[in-house]
Structure 1
Amino acid sequence: MNDAFDPALRAELDAGLAALGLDASLAPRLLAYLALLGRWNKTYNLTAIRDPRAMVALHLLDSLAMHPFVRGIGSLADLGSGAGLPGIPLAIAVPTLQVTLVESNGKKARFLREAVRTLGLDNARVAESRAETLDRPGAFNAITARAMATLADLLAAGAHLLRPGGRLLAMKGALPEEEIAALPPGWRVEATRRLAVPGLDAERHLLVVGPQPH
């Protein structure tokens, strides 16, 4: 995927990073991740999106749009990380964030370990496990996922991983009113943020879900 380093692609990424308030110095590492993903995608079906330009908006910038919400939180578990989204772009953009990429599929977990090694991501590790069975209770300040699971399902799978007072940072498209109404007892939406993703003409929201105050 040499076109990952095509000047037009780099320019598009640079413009997107600037729009998100991120430094252009992140671009080479992000493009190296994209190139690695492209190579592995030829053998393993890691993502249905094959076009590098589409990957910039739909994978990189979409993941990075939530960067302001993970700064200063310390530790994050990316549940069902798949190809490493949003965990790897966030680990690149926020070096102080400790990211655990939780993925049960063996092929995807192998790709994630290779990506962490190749990119030199000292602040990322891979847990080859289902979120539900990951034996790290209370280990994280936040959990997140780009998967299509409902808010209730994400909490059922990963709430045990949260420290007391920890948060679910759920990436959604349109505001999921039915999912919000179906939150399990003891949880509430603390904040709803509409995200502007450069190059993406679709609704994106980040929901911050936390425990009900006693």
Structure 2
Amino acid sequence: MNQPTDEPDDFETLAEAVAWAGLEVSSSQLEQLDAYRQLLWQWNENINLTRHTTLRKFAGRDLLDTFRLAEHLDRGDRVLDVGSGGGVPGLPLAIVRPDLTVSVCDSVGKKARVLEEMVGSLGLPITVYPARAEQVLEITTQGTLVARGVASLKKLLTWLKPHWDAFDQLLLIKGKAWVEERGEARHHGLLKDLDLRRIASYESPLVGESVLLRIAPRQAS
């Protein structure tokens, strides 16, 4: 297993970093991703949006997570990025999977306004909700909710418990602590009627193993 590293950023272009991370992307998508990265880093000077401010971290964390997530979304799905913050995975997901209908939400007003500015500058067909996911689900229906680094399983499932009629599945990007989080959620009865599966695991050259979890209502037998 690769050991997590925090090497200095020695890449001069995003193309180099993307190749290092083992990702394949078209030239037009690379251009859009780089435009998003530049906007994100510019805004980050005024409001805390990301700690991934090197090309190495942007490619090896943000883009790698987004690409692995994209592999498990059905064509044409309606996707809501919960607690989007600086826009990952929602904005890069909309760039690499233009067939998806992507929305993002964040309850912090300043962050939501920055998301709106970035979406407008990039010309992406993304709806930005300055609200919590629970509020968004009261007025919309979604196919898939996605989240990375927002909260523990216990907190997320508590928040979303009343709203499963408004979406089909929840896909979460997690680190190795997911096993303990699953145990905590089970202890509080939050997985009683839900099916949780680890649908993918992958190695990040920066943090080691990451996993992709799928949670959906348990099908009646």
TM-score, scaled to structure 1: 0.84
Q: Does 1:67 align with 2:66?
A: no
- Counterpart of 1:188 in structure 2 is 195
Q: Which residue of 2 aligns with 1:213?
A: 219
**What SS does structure 2 have at the residue aligned with 1:203?**
strand
How many residue pairs match? The answer is: 206
The reply to whether residue 171 of structure 1 matches residue 160 of structure 2 is no
Task: Tell me the CA shift for residue 157 of structure 1.
Answer: 2.2
What's the counterpart of residue 107 of structure 1?
Answer: 110
1:9 alignment partner in structure 2: 14
1:57 maps to which residue?
60
CA distance, structure 2, for counterparts of residue 143 and residue 174 of structure 1: 21
Q: 1:74 to 1:9 in 2, by over 3 A?
A: closer
* DSSP 3-state at the match of 2:196: strand
**SS at the partner of 1:65?**
helix
Given that residues 49 and 86 in structure 2 are in contact (C-alpha distance below 8 angstroms), is that contact kept between their aligned partners in structure 1?
A: yes
Q: Shift of the alpha carbon at 1:148?
A: 4.3
Q: Over the residues paired in the alignment, what is the CA RMSD in angstroms?
A: 2.4
Q: CA deviation at 1:89?
A: 0.9
1:74 and 1:154 map into 2 onto residues whose CA distance is 21
Cα distance change, pair 47–191 in 1 and its aligned pair in 2 (3 A)? closer
Cα deviation, 1:155-209, whole Å, max 9, x if unaligned, reads 2223555557711101101162232232412112144310244x43511100111
* Residue 31, structure 1, aligned to residue 37, structure 2: no
Structure 1 residues 188 and 179, CA gap change in structure 2 (3 angstroms): farther
Helix, strand or coil for the counterpart of 2:59? helix
Deviations 1:102-153 (CA, angstroms, capped at 9, x unpaired) = 101111111111111111112x110000123335356011111112412232
Within 2, Cα distance between the matches of 1:94 and 1:160?
Answer: 29
Cα 1:63–1:211, aligned 2, differ >3 Å: closer, same or farther? same
Task: Give the drift of 1:91.
Answer: 0.7
**Structure 1 residue 14, shift from structure 2 partner:** 4.2
Unaligned runs of 5+ in 1: 1-5
Find the aligned partners of 1:164 and 1:130 in 2 and give their Cα distance.
14
Give unmatched runs, 5+ long, in structure 2: 1-10
Corresponding residue for residue 210 of structure 2: 204
